[in-house]
Amino acid sequence: MSLLAVTRRDLRLARRRQVESLLPLGFFVVAAGLFPIGVGPEPQTLRQIGAGVVWVCALLAAMLSVTQMFASDYQDGSLEQMLLAPGSLAEIVIAKVFAHWLTTGLPLVVATPLLGLLFGMAAPAIGMLALTLLLGTPILSLLGAFGAALTLGLRSGAALVFLIVLPLTVPALIFGTGAVGAVDGGQSAQAQLSLLAALLIITFLGAPWATAAALRISLE
Amino acid sequence: MNAATLTWATYAAPSRFYTLAGRLIPWCWAVTAEFCLAGLWVGFAIAPTDFQQGEAYRIIFIHVPAAWLSMLIYLVMAFWAAWGWMLNARMASMYARALAPTGVLFTFLALWTGALWGKPTWGAWWVWDARLTSEFILLLLYLGYIALTEAIDDPRRAANAGALLALVGAVNVPVIYFSVRWWNTLHQGATISLTTAPKMASTMLTAMLLMTIGFWAYSFAVVFARARAIVLEQESEAEWVRTLATGAEKS
Amino acid sequence: MNWTSWDEFFRMGGYGLYVWGSYAVAIAVMTGEALLAVRRHRRARADARSAS
């Protein structure tokens, strides 16, 4: 199966379960929206915590749907076929991650400006927040795939993914929110953005192979 | 078996590890006691009071060795787990799993003593400085490893999955530490850092090193004991285990 | 010697709570871990005995 076909297949499956696919987005908005209610509507506070809250909620939302990447293929046996297929398993993983990002990550990026407004963030900050999430959500999908592959078929798989993957996302979180903080303080976010982009590249180069190894371990 | 045929690989066999470890454990405890007592003696009786921090600094004789061991054990754990995965060596995988809880213990101790040191020194129970934050994340990495290996029933899949996770974790630790240090220097509003430890009198350093060796010997003692338990649990079908269990027992 | 009396030693210049809190917890968890390991080993041996 060509890579594009893998992606398209996953997208089609997601479209069939539209409500399920939109759950992460719903969680993202609800969870982030709860913070002003819990913390208080003071604009100064909200503006300060906005970037961090949105980023953390994005982390959690991304992890919510990550097990879906392999679950249905695991259950109907097509995942084992992919293992035996002549092509590179890592490339299939990349195709699946791409589909996951399109259904889960990209909507988060699109919803970000709305949340930015809820937190009373200034326009440049909102723009930077969206940009960092545009770079960050693929990282989350890549790392999430690794976690999903390791916990394939386990009863507590979904909860385990959180515990396993979230510590690995800390650098992305730091650079992402740091970039927004820099812009808020009137400085250049060049350094943070470069580091975030570097993280994306390194993760893209490493995670699919680690995920493929994890899949082999889980399916042996 | 004569000395000529005895090699390191011999102890790769769970049965031989079991016996050898059993013989070594009392020695490990002896070394632990000696070095910890020596370290505490130097640390309390000989090392002077610190000019800035008063007596509170004496917590470092636990804090720093615990932190060092928490990091060392993670690397050793990742190493043996990877060895077991790559070479299909069961004993190595079992040993890796035996290491994890002790790593958690030292990470916890580092965090706990860090808090108790931070309170009188910096006025807060928790300080988000680079090293404590990284230590906290290390705790999460350990917990993830334990949770994953415990959640998988098949021992081989559990060991290999754990190995991969530990390796990924080990690779990520420098990245995480770097990003946390960056983050910490950004929020310089609170210039709190436990890295500004008291200027080390050589006696303080000696005490710290003695305690480190003591803790290291301690980890061998406990990890050996735990590894022996794991060997019995996972190799219960083996002939030698049956003989051991039903025959005359000397641990 | 750094202290002139046992009382001074325990007070640790006012930081007694923190210093001894650290050492007490350290001894407690290390002893606890050792006991748990021994107990696990004993249980494994008993299980092996009953299984064979």
Residue B3 scores a pLDDT above 70: no
Task: Flag whether B177 is in a domain.
Answer: yes
**Mind telling me how many Å the CA of B19 is from chain C's nearest CA?**
13
B-contacting chains (≥3 CB pairs under 8 Å):
A, C
| Mean pLDDT of all residues in B98-111 | 97
- Mean pLDDT for chain A? 93
Give the rounded distance of the alpha carbon of A167 from its chain centre. Answer: 14
Question: B141-153, pLDDT tens digit by residue?
Answer: 999 999 999 999 9
C41: chain B residues, CB-CB within 8 Å: 225-226, 228-229, 232
What DSSP string describes B183-209? HHHHTTTS---TTSPPP--HHHHHHHH
**pLDDT at residue A124, rounded to an integer:** 94
C1-42 per-position pLDDT tens digit:
677 778 878 887 788 888 888 999 999 999 999 999 999 999
Give me B156's structure tokens: 């081989």
In a domain, B92, yes or no: yes
- What is the band of B191 on the pLDDT scale with cuts at 50, 70, 90? very low
Q: SS3 sequence, chain A?
A: CCHHHHHHHHHHHHHHCHHHHHHHHHHHHHHHHHHHHHHCCCHHHHHHHHHHHHHHHHHHHHHHCCCHHHHHHHHCCHHHHHHHCCCCHHHHHHHHHHHHHHHHHHHHHHHHHHHHHHCCCCHHHHHHHHHHHHHHHHHHHHHHHHHHHHCCCCCCHHHHHHHHHHHHHHHHHHHHHHHHHHHHCCCCCHHHHHHHHHHHHHHHHHHHHHHHHHHHHHHC
Domain holding A24, by residue range, is 3-219
A164: which residues sit within 8 A by CB, 6+ positions away?
A147, A150, A151, B144, B147, B148, B165
* Residue A26 pLDDT class (50, 70, 90 cuts): very high
Q: Which residues of B touch C20 (CB under 8 A)?
A: none
**Partner residue facing B117 (CB), from C12, C18, C51:** C18
Residue B188 has pLDDT above 80, yes or no: no
- Altogether, the residues listed in chain B come to a count of 251
- Which residue segment(s) compose the domain that B32 sits in? 24-43+56-231
Which residues lie closer than 8 Å to A119 by C-beta, 6 or more apart? Answer: A35, A36, A46, A47, A49, A50, A53, A54
d(CA A61, CA A57): 6
> What confidence score (pLDDT) does residue B7 get?
55
3-state secondary structure of B118: helix
Question: Considering only CA atoms, which of B142, B163, B140, B168 is closest in space to residue A145?
Answer: B168
* Mean pLDDT to the nearest integer, A79-86: 86
Kindly identify which residue of chain B lies nearest to residue A175, measuring between CA atoms.
Answer: B179
**Does the residue B4 lie in any domain?**
no
Query: If you search the block for the tokens 């101790």, which residue do you land on?
Result: B109
CA distance to A17, A54, A63, C48, per residue, from A140 (Å) = 22, 14, 8, 45
What mean pLDDT is predicted for residues A17-41?
A: 92
Q: How confident is the model at residue A1 (pLDDT cuts 50, 70, 90)?
A: low
Average pLDDT over residues A4-29: 89
The verdict on C34 touching B (C-beta cutoff 8 Å) is yes
Give the tokens for residue A169. 């996302």
Tell me whether residues B151 and A170 touch, CB distance under 8 A.
no
Provide mean pLDDT across the span A48-54.
95
Disruptive mutation site among B139, B168, B176, B183 for chain A (greatest number of A CBs within 10 Å): B168
Structure tokens given for A158: 């979904």
Supply the pLDDT for residue C30: 96
Number of domains observed in the structure of chain A: 1
Give the model's pLDDT for residue B10.
58
Q: Which residues contact B58 (CB under 8 A, 6 or more apart)?
A: B43, B44, B47, C12, C19
Q: How far apart are CA B221 and CA B218, in angstroms?
A: 5
Q: Is B59's CB within 8 Å of C19's CB?
A: yes
Q: What percent of chain B has pLDDT over 70?
A: 89
What is the predicted pLDDT for the residue at B6? 54
Of B63, B116, B245, the CB nearest to C21: B116
Q: Chain C contact for B222, CB < 8 A?
A: yes
* Averaged pLDDT for residues A49-77: 93
Q: Give the C-alpha separation, C26 to A93, whole Å.
A: 45
Chain C residue at shortest CA distance from B116: C18
Q: Does C30 touch chain B (CB under 8 A)?
A: yes
- Interatomic CA distance for residues B244 and C9, integer angstroms: 50
Which candidate from B147, B161, B176 shows the least CB-CB separation from A163?
A: B147
Range of A130-139, B124-133, B197-206, B239-248 with top mean pLDDT:
A130-139
B164: nearest CB among A170, A181, A214:
A214
From chain B, the residues in CB contact with A220 under 8 A are: 156-157, 160
Q: Is the dihedral of CA A163, B155, A142, B99 positive or negative?
A: positive
Give the least confident one: A95-104, B57-66, B197-206.
B197-206
How many angstroms separate the CA atoms of A208 and B251, rounded?
A: 46
Residue B195 has pLDDT above 70, yes or no: no
Q: Does the distance separating the beta carbons of A213 and B164 come in below 8 Å? A: yes
Judge whether A9 and A72 are in contact, CB under 8 Å: no
Look at chain B and report how many structural domains it folds into: 1
pLDDT recorded at residue B140: 96
Contact (CB, 8 A) for B223 and B232: no
Select, from the ranges A77-91, A105-119, B2-16, the one with the highest average predicted confidence (pLDDT).
A105-119
pLDDT over 50 (residue B189): no
pLDDT for B202 equals 84
pLDDT above 90 (res B183): no
Residue C14 host element (H or E): none
pLDDT at C11: 80
Q: Which residue of C has its CA nearest to B43?
A: C2
